Amino acid sequence: MKRRDFIKTGSVAGLGAGLTILNFPVFGKNAPSNKLILGVMGVNSRGNWLAQCAAKLPGAEIGYICDVEDSAIAKGLKAVAGAQDRKPTVIKDIRKLLERSDFDALFVATPDHWHAPAAIMATAAGKHVYVEKPCAHNPAEGELLLAAAKKYSRHVQMGSQRRSWPNMQQAIKEVKEQHVLGKVYYGKSWYVNNRQPIGAGKKIAVPGTLDWDLWQGPAPRRDYLDNIVHYNWHWRWHWGTSETCNNGTHELDCLRWFMNVEYPTKVTSAGGRYAYSGDDWETPDTQTLNFEFEGGKAISWEGRSCSPFSLEGSDRGFVLYGENGSLYNTGGDSYKITDLKGKVVKEVKQATNTGQSVTNTVSPAGEYYDAIHINNFLESIRGNATLNAEINIGYRSALLPLLGNIAQRTGRILHTDPSSGHILHDEEAMKLWRREYEKGWEPKV
């Protein structure tokens, strides 16, 4: 679908309505002449979708696609071709792309080990950045990304889309300003899926369609195995960050947002690879995380990657528990509020039925809701809005599951500094605060 056609559809009509709620117009104060040229890094799956959504927005154009695998590049070009007239230029090496001065912002939707290094490189090259969650593979490089955004004065938005959704913004006002729940003291969240075993990878020759060296980028070199690319890297610590960061980041971000908490004081994790055994899956497929905060507040997350039994009627969501009642969200832009007897006193339903599963690996939200968050990023670059998930917010939310991973991998209870999230009095756990990098690829600010 071309941009001119997209503008006429109900999708953009709905988007316009959503953006009116968010107090900034689709086109911005200076549109349509104020066009932003965008680059997208990683277009096999999520990045492909982001490119397509961004290309349909007025005043935006995908100028560059950056990927290291030929079939992914073909998918990205095809997706964008249906949304804009200009064919993007393909540059496989992100370092070469960032030498270009003729684009404004970079979308990073690569495997997790690339998120922070690519974003840091982009800010140093003068680009604004939209980086998918988690914004970092480990806490140390997340802190470097914060420093880079500040040093180079760039807009950096993390893909915490729920912060841009109209009903979530309405709910936050009810909870934080109108105090409909009274004091909120506990929040729980969950994600369930039915992922299958990934098998034992075989060492084979790298396919001629893939630049394995560039795919690894900042990660220390490993042999190519036939069960890593494109998706199963998620479950290997060397490149991925477990289901905790893959999906838990979203609901943990919502709980942190609604409960007005920043860094925890205590972190615990329990779980493991329980559902299956004998394959290369290293991260937990079953896990519970618990976080305690100052002021008598706590947050939990339950993840079951290989068991489809839903909680609270949905495969993902969160619940807030307060002194006057509770608020339930089941993964989308909807919520209901109940009193202490469980009676529903208010229910707000999602404005647009996306038809998407809340566990869809490409877009759980659908085009309407992803476009709102992307447009918030673009309008912030233009000076017409403020980022809803700027990187200081994004990093603090991503840090929760990252700390949970450290607690899980060390088998330790973590005590953390409530002013920074840093691990206290545990040298063994602090070893996982950062990682080793391939020589010459170390992120620097």
Look at residue 76 in the predicted model and tell me its pLDDT.
95
Name the pLDDT band for 29 (thresholds 50, 70, 90). Answer: very low
Q: Give residue limits of the domains in the chain.
A: 3-162, 165-201+209-353+392-433
Look at residue 356 in the predicted model and tell me its pLDDT.
64
Beta bridge partners of 316: 191
Average pLDDT over residues 367-385: 96
First to last CA, the chain: 40
Look at residue 82 in the predicted model and tell me its pLDDT.
82
Q: pLDDT tens across 99-146, in order?
A: 999 999 999 999 999 999 999 999 999 999 999 999 999 999 999 999
Instruction: Choose among 308, 302, 268: nearest CA to 288.
Output: 302
The strand order across the sheet containing 128-131 reads 89-90, 60-66, 36-41, 105-108, 128-131, 156-158
Statement: residue 20 has pLDDT above 50 = no
Tell me which of 42-46, 102-106, 146-150 is least confident.
42-46
How high does pLDDT run on average in the chain? 92
Name the pLDDT band for 352 (thresholds 50, 70, 90). Answer: confident
Look at residue 17 in the predicted model and tell me its pLDDT.
34
**How far is 36 from 21, CA to CA, in rounded Å?**
23
Name the pLDDT band for 33 (thresholds 50, 70, 90). Answer: low
Look at residue 58 in the predicted model and tell me its pLDDT.
94
Look at residue 295 in the predicted model and tell me its pLDDT.
97
**Within a 10 A sphere around the Cβ of 104, how many other Cβ atoms?**
20
Q: pLDDT tens across 200-213, in order?
A: 999 999 999 999 99
Tell me which of 18-27, 183-192, 406-415 is least confident.
18-27
Instruction: Choose among 110, 95, 90, 145: nearest CA to 441.
Output: 95
Q: pLDDT tens across 410-431, in order?
A: 999 999 999 999 999 999 999 9
Question: ∠ CA(23), CA(24), CA(27), 5° rounding?
Answer: 160
> Which DSSP category does 248 fall into?
I
Ordered DSSP codes for 166-218: HHHHHHHHHHHTS-TTSSEEEEEEEEE-BPPP--PPPB-PPPTTB-HHHHHTT
Look at residue 34 in the predicted model and tell me its pLDDT.
80
User: Looking at the chain, how many residues does it have?
Assistant: 445
Superfamily the domain 165-201+209-353+392-433 falls into: Dihydrodipicolinate Reductase; domain 2 (3.30.360.10)
Average pLDDT over residues 207-221: 98
Average pLDDT over residues 190-208: 97
Look at residue 364 in the predicted model and tell me its pLDDT.
64
CATH fold label, 3-162: Rossmann fold (3.40.50)
Judge if 3-162 and 165-201+209-353+392-433 fold alike in CATH terms.
Answer: no
- pTM reported for the whole predicted model: 0.92
